[in-house]
Chains A and B, each alone.
Chain A
Amino acid sequence: MKQSVTVVQDEKGNFGTMVKDFVIKLIPAMPKWNGKTLVRKVLIPLASIILFVGLWHVGAKALYNIEADYKIQKALTDQGQEAADQMAACIASGDVSCQPNTLPSPAQVWTSFNTLIADHKAISADKAEFKAKTAALNAKREAEGKAPIVYTGRPSFVDQIFTSLKTVFAGFLLALIIAVPVGVIIGLSTTLRNSFNWLIQIFKPVSPVVWLLLVFMIVKTMTKDSESDSAFIISFISVGLCAMWATLVNTAMGVATVDKDYINVAKVLKLGPIQKVFKVILPSSLPLIFTGLRITLSVAWMVLIAIELLAQSPGLGSFVWEEFQNGANDSNSKIIVAMFVIGIIGFLLDRIMLTVQNMVSFNKNATA
Chain B
Amino acid sequence: MEMVVEVSKQAQGHENGVVYPSDNIMLDLHDLKKVYPTPKGDYVVLEHLNLQILKEEFVTIIGHSGCGKTTMLSMIAGLNPISDGRISVLGNPIKGPGPDRGVIFQAPSLMPWMTALQNVKLGVNQVFPHASKSQRKDIAMYYLDKVGLEGAFHKKANELSQGMQQRVGIARAFAIKPKVLLLDEPFGMLDSLTRGELQDILIEIWNKEKITAVMITHDVDEAIFLADRVVMMTSGPRAKIGDVLSIDFERPRTRKSVLEHDDYYKYRKHLIDFLEH
Q: Write the residues of chain A forming the contact surface with B, with a CB cutoff of 8 angstroms.
A: 1-10, 259, 261-262, 264-265, 267-271, 275, 279-280, 283-284, 286, 362-364
* Distance between Cα atoms of A182 and B274 in the complex (Å): 55
Contacts of A261 in B (CB 8 A): 105, 107, 109
Residues of chain A within 8 A (CB-CB) of B163 are 3
Is B13 on the interface with A (CB-CB < 8 A)?
Answer: no
Residues of A within 8 A of B164 (CB): 3, 5
How many residue pairs at the A-B interface have CB separations less than 8 Å?
A: 85
Given contacts A5-B149, A284-B113, A363-B112, contact A268 B156 (CB under 8 A): no
Given known contacts A268-B97, A363-B158, A5 and B111 CB-to-CB distance under 8 angstroms: no
A270 partner residues in chain B, CB cutoff 8 A:
97-99, 126
Partner of A283, one of B98, B111, B151, B200: B111
- Contact between chains at A269 and B154 (CB < 8 Å): no
Per-residue 0/1 for B143-180: is the Cβ within 8 Å of any A Cβ (1 yes, 0 no)? 00000111110111010000110000000000010000
Tell me whether A5 and B152 are in contact (CB under 8 A): yes
- Contact present for B151 and A279 (CB under 8 Å): no
Which residues of chain B from 88 to 128 have any CB-CB distance to chain A below 8 Å in the complex?
A: 96-99, 101-103, 105, 107, 109, 111-115, 122-123, 126-127
A1-B197, A8-B154 given as contacts; is B99 within 8 A of A264 (CB)? no
Which residues of chain A have C-beta atoms less than 8 A from B123's C-beta?
Answer: 269
Q: Are A362 and B156 in contact (CB under 8 A)?
A: yes
Within the complex, what minimum Cβ distance (angstroms) separates B122 from chain A? Answer: 7
Cβ of B59 within 8 Å of any chain A Cβ, yes or no, is no
In the assembled complex, B79 has its CB within 8 A of some CB on chain A: yes
Identify which of A7, A269, A279 gathers the most chain B CB atoms within 10 Å of its CB: A269
Smallest CB gap from A280: residue in B: B111
A277 to chain B, nearest CB (A): 13
CB distance from B215 to the nearest CB of A (A): 16
Query: Of all chain A residues, which has the CB nearest B204?
Result: A1
Q: Which residues of A contact B127 (CB under 8 A)?
A: 269
Query: Given that A3-B164, A267-B97, A268-B102 are contacting pairs, would A283 and B150 also be in contact in the complex, using a CB cutoff of 8 Å?
Result: no
Beta-carbon nearest neighbor of A10 in chain B: B154
Offer 15 A-B interface pairs, CB within 8 angstroms, sorted by A: A5-B152, A6-B152, A10-B115, A261-B105, A261-B109, A264-B97, A264-B105, A265-B105, A267-B78, A267-B97, A268-B78, A268-B79, A269-B99, A271-B126, A362-B156
- Docked complex Cα distance between A270 and B102 (Å): 11
Nearest CB on B from A285, distance (A): 11
Residues of chain B with a CB closer than 8 A to A364's CB: 158
Chain B nearest CB from A72 CB (Å) reads: 70
Cα A259 to Cα B111 in complex, Å, equals 10
**A-B residue pairs, 3 tightest by C-beta:** A261-B109, A5-B151, A267-B97
Query: For residue A10, which residues in chain B have a CB less than 8 angstroms away from its CB?
Result: 115, 154
B62 interface residue per 8 A CB criterion: no
CA distance A283 to B150 in the complex (A): 26
CA distance in complex: A320, B113 (Å)? 45
Which residues from 193 to 223 on chain B have a C-beta closer than 8 Å to any C-beta of chain A? 197, 200-201
- List 9 additional A-B contacts (Cβ < 8 Å) besides A1-B200, A269-B127, A283-B114: A1-B197, A5-B149, A5-B150, A261-B109, A262-B111, A267-B96, A268-B103, A269-B123, A363-B158
**A363 — which chain B residues lie within 8 A by C-beta?**
112, 158
**Are the C-beta atoms of A264 and B79 separated by less than 8 Å?**
yes
How far in angstroms is the closest Cβ of chain A from B97?
Answer: 4
Query: What's the minimum C-beta distance from B82 to chain A, rounded to whole angstroms?
Result: 15
Distance A1 CA – B127 CA, assembled complex (angstroms): 31
B97 nearest CB neighbor, chain A only? A267
Collect the chain B residues with CB atoms within 8 Å of residue A3's CB.
148, 163-164, 197
Min CB distance, B267 to chain A, in Å? Answer: 24
Contacts of B176 in A (CB 8 A): 269
CB–CB B113/A268 < 8 A: no
Determine if B109 and A264 form an interchain contact, defined as CB atoms under 8 angstroms apart.
yes
B140 proximal to A (CB < 8 A): no
- Whether B77 is near chain A, meaning CB under 8 Å from some CB there, is yes
Contact A362 B79 (CB under 8 A): no
- Interchain CA distance A3-B194 in the complex, whole Å: 10
Q: Is the CB of A362 within 8 A of B148?
A: no
A279 to B123: give the CA distance in the assembly, Å. Answer: 12
Most buried by B among A265, A275, A280, A284: A265
Decide: A362 and B151 in contact? CB cutoff 8 A: no
Determine how close the nearest CB of chain B comes to the CB of A257; give it in whole angstroms.
15
